[in-house]
Amino acid sequence: METTELQVSSMEKKYTYTEKKDTRSGFGAGLLEAGKANPEVVALCADLTGSLKMDAFKKEFPERFFQVGIAEANMMGVAAGLAIGGKVPFTGTFANFSTGRVYDQIRQSIAYSEKNVKICASHAGLTLGEDGATHQILEDIGMMRMLPNMVVINPCDYNQTKQATLAIAKYYGPVYLRFGRPAWPVFTDPNEEFVIGKAQQMLSGTDITIIACGHMVWNAVQAAEELAKAGVSVDLINMHTIKPLDAKAVISSVAKTRCVLTAEEHQRNGGLGEAVAHVLALADPVPMEIVAVEDVFGESGTPAELLVKYGLDSSDIVKKAQKLLSRKTAGN
């Protein structure tokens, strides 16, 4: 899992990877470490222990692991009760069953009741792949960021997901942690501490701001490389925390670049793009483009095929960036 950073003339940094790993395994590793660090950490799972990579925690701390069966509503309530008793519960199931299926339980028993529950959600977005649209939730960020008291995090790779898991274990309050299924390039520093709510500056540039979250950060890195070949200097921000959004990072970046593109594996409605647009519409309106799913459901296919078909490939980011740069030049 070594990452290398090479200095090249056209860009400040070059991100490469030597291996691909799924972000859910980063969660599993982080959960085990959080469990070792704090005896109050407990975990609950709704019949997806292997998929969520919670086996290691279960093996190490069997008395602190609760298999709830296929009953997600009960899982959220039990987690809230464990939090009342001073525990730090981590719930694990697919993102679809972590949000839409149990929205009212989260709203009343966790968010409104201010319970210290960490809702950990795997298999988010199109990159779930072949299981199809029933499981590919693309609305979860929107649902969760609407809830008062809820922190919403979507880290970009294995290393960052592990660090994020450790960070939310130390934070008091409800958190939604979103990650995914596929093996994905590991390109961030494994030792970089995760700071909730602090955007990660990936590249410094002056022509265009690109803000991405989750798997799309890697696609944005690749797009930035393409754009650099054409002489475009990209200011790339990894907005791993969608709520609370690092508004300062957004505003200071567009102050340099005067335009912004966002990229996310989520519906256009309710996601990162909307959150960034909200900040800029009030503070500093600039030309903007959004790379997201266009208000449709997904379908079966490989992750790579789906990202291309639904317009989330790195080439889609390049195209929309070029369009945005012409708009900026034309002053619209």
**How far apart are the C-alpha atoms of 48 and 63, rounded to whole Å?**
18
Which residue among the candidates 33, 72, 139, 274 is catalytic per the annotation? Answer: 72
The helix-helix angle for 247-257 and 272-283 (nearest 10°) equals 70
Q: Which helix (H) or strand (E) holds 283?
A: helix 272-283
299 catalytically annotated: no
Between 85 and 231, name the residue whose CB sits nearer to other proteins: 85
- At position 11, the amino acid (one-letter code) is M
- From CA 9, how far away is CA 31, in angstroms rounded? 40
Separation in Å, CA 220 to CA 100, 156, 237, 277: 28, 11, 9, 18
Show the CA angle centred on residue 306, arms to residues 304 and 307, nearest 5°.
65
For residues 16 and 4, what is the distance between their CA atoms, to the nearest angstrom? 6
Q: CA 246, CA 232: separation in Å to the nearest integer?
A: 24
- Tell me the C-alpha distance between 159 and 157, whole Å: 6
User: What minimum distance in Å lies between the beta carbon of 63 and other proteins?
Assistant: 7
Residues of the shown chain interacting with other proteins in the complex, contacts defined by CB under 8 A? 42, 63-64, 66, 68-69, 71, 73-87, 89, 104-105, 107-109, 112-115
Among residues 55, 241, 51, which one has the least CA distance to residue 43?
55
Q: How far is CA 240 from the centre of its chain?
A: 5
Tell me what percent of the chain is helix, strand and coil, each rounded to the nearest 5: 40, 20, 40
Contact 158, 184 (CB under 8 A): yes
**Residues identified as active-site:** 72
